Amino acid sequence: MTISVSSSDELIRLDTFLSSRLIQFSRSKIQKLISEGRITVNDKTVKKNLKLSYGDTIKVDTSKFESLEVPKLKKWEYPLEVIYEDDDFAIINKPFGVISHPTTNNKDETLVNILLNQFEDKLSSHPDPLRPGIVHRLDRDTTGVMIIPFNEYAHWKIADQFKNRTIQKEYIALTWGEWTDDEGIIENKLSRSKKNPLKYQSSIEGREATSKFKLINKGKYFSAINFFPKTGRTHQIRIHCSEKGYPIIGDELYGGGWKKLNEYLPEVRKKINNNISILNGHYLHASSISFLHPRKEKKILFKAQPSKEFSNLFEMIKNEEI
């Protein structure tokens, strides 16, 4: 079994990373397999605490471990907007509230399960049997455009573009507050929080995170921002908004939860409640992506429209109603 390391998995310990991938095993079992040399990184035996780098290739020797066989992933019939499809890849509009791949706590209701239902035959030659179709990720509540490679050739051609940062992405973030800057660049280093393993934060020991932003419009109390991330760190845009003082609306993890609505005038709360069904999720949408077609070597651009719920709030901000 061969597993590739994505950019969002950089600096994670090998045993921690594999605990989320080999979901049929305990962490202690994985550590034992590493110490026995059954698991290698870039064809070398390593220690369990090795910090991974983007592009690392992990090989798991399954020859003597029947239980290391890839667990059978279930199909999940769930609405999916397919924007484009050919023999090498598809472009989808990821739905709200769906995580990208199976985890220990959720094996059956993820984007991977939806993809198997939609593209099972085409995904049969994907190089990662645990995450077929996944070459990059969006957070559970982030919606928008995603590239879904079908085969090994397309996967690595697209992965190299992510590695070399030649893929251009655009996001729309709806945030609390009125941004004072019309445009700029946010740069810092991000690492996983030691207090809360679900969060990331600025750290001198972290990995470079760079986002260019441009104000779309600011209303009376909220703002709409375009983000053009140069790097693709986990939660990057969410953290950049939060640390700048304008957390994304609905982002409980980074200070943008709906409790903040209590800080606003009753008329503002009424407008929000009348027009938006308050969900337990944040308002961040991947609106477009541009890259080289893996086989034709031609630049292509795809866009994904936000949901009606997102668009309602977006229009209110653009029209300066709130």
- Mean pLDDT along residues 226-240: 95
Give the per-residue pLDDT at 130. Answer: 79
Give the per-residue pLDDT at 280. Answer: 66
192 pLDDT band, cuts 50/70/90, is confident
Q: What does the alpha-carbon distance between residue 84 and residue 310 come to, in Å, rounded to a whole number?
A: 22
Q: Residue 262: is its pLDDT beyond 80? A: yes
**At how many degrees (to 10) do helices 27-35 and 14-21 cross?**
120
Give the per-residue pLDDT at 226. Answer: 98
What is the pTM (predicted TM-score) of this model? Answer: 0.85
CATH number of 170-285+311-318: 3.30.2350.10
Distances in whole angstroms, Cα of residue 113 to Cα of each of 185, 246, 278: 37, 34, 27
List phi, psi (to 5°) of 7. Answer: -65, -30
Give the per-residue pLDDT at 224. Answer: 98
Q: What does the alpha-carbon distance between residue 136 and residue 272 come to, in Å, rounded to a whole number?
A: 33
Q: Which CATH architecture has domain 2-65?
A: Roll (3.10)
Place of tokens 């020859």: 63
Q: What is the pLDDT of residues 291-303, one digit of tens each?
A: 999 999 899 999 9
Domain positions in the chain: 2-65, 81-164, 170-285+311-318
Which of the following is catalytic: 9, 56, 139, 251? 139
Tell me whether residue 128 is one of the annotated catalytic residues: no
Give the per-residue pLDDT at 190. Answer: 92
Contact 271, 316 (CB under 8 A): yes
Give the per-residue pLDDT at 180. Answer: 93
Q: Residue 278: is its pLDDT beyond 70? A: no
Q: Identity (one letter) of the amino acid at 171?
A: Y
Place of tokens 């509540």: 141
- Mean pLDDT along residues 168-195: 94
Q: What is the pLDDT of residues 71-115, one digit of tens each?
A: 688 999 999 999 999 999 999 999 999 999 888 788 899 999 999
Q: Identity (one letter) of the amino acid at 108?
A: D
Q: Residue 279: is its pLDDT beyond 70? A: no
Sheet holding 57-60, edge to edge: 2-4, 57-60, 39-41, 44-45
Same fold flag, 81-164 and 170-285+311-318: yes
Give the per-residue pLDDT at 272. Answer: 84
- Mean pLDDT along residues 148-157: 92
Give the per-residue pLDDT at 191. Answer: 87
Go through the chain and tell me how many residues it has.
Answer: 322
Q: What is the 3-state secondary structure (H, E, C) of the chain?
A: CEEECCHHHCCCEHHHHHHHHCCCCCHHHHHHHHHCCCEEECCEECCCCCECCCCCEEEECCCCCHHHCCCCCCCCCCCCEEEEECCCEEEEEECCCCCCCCCCCCCCCCHHHHHHHHHCCHHHHCCCCCCCCCCCCCCCCCEEEEEEECCHHHHHHHHHHHHCCCCEEEEEEEEECCCCCCEEEEEEEEEECCCCCCCEEECCCCEEEEEEEEEEEECCCEEEEEEEECCCCCCHHHHHHHHCCCCECCEHHHCECHHHHHHCCHHHHHHHHHHCCCCCCCCEEEEEEEEECCCCCCEEEEECCCCHHHHHHHHHHHCCCC
Q: Considering only the top CATH level, what class is 81-164? A: alpha beta
Cβ-in-10-Å burial (0-12, 13-18, 19+) of 54 comes to middle
Q: Point out the least confidently predicted range of 41-50, 107-116, 263-272, 313-322.
A: 263-272
- Mean pLDDT along residues 191-209: 87
Cβ-in-10-Å burial (0-12, 13-18, 19+) of 217 comes to middle
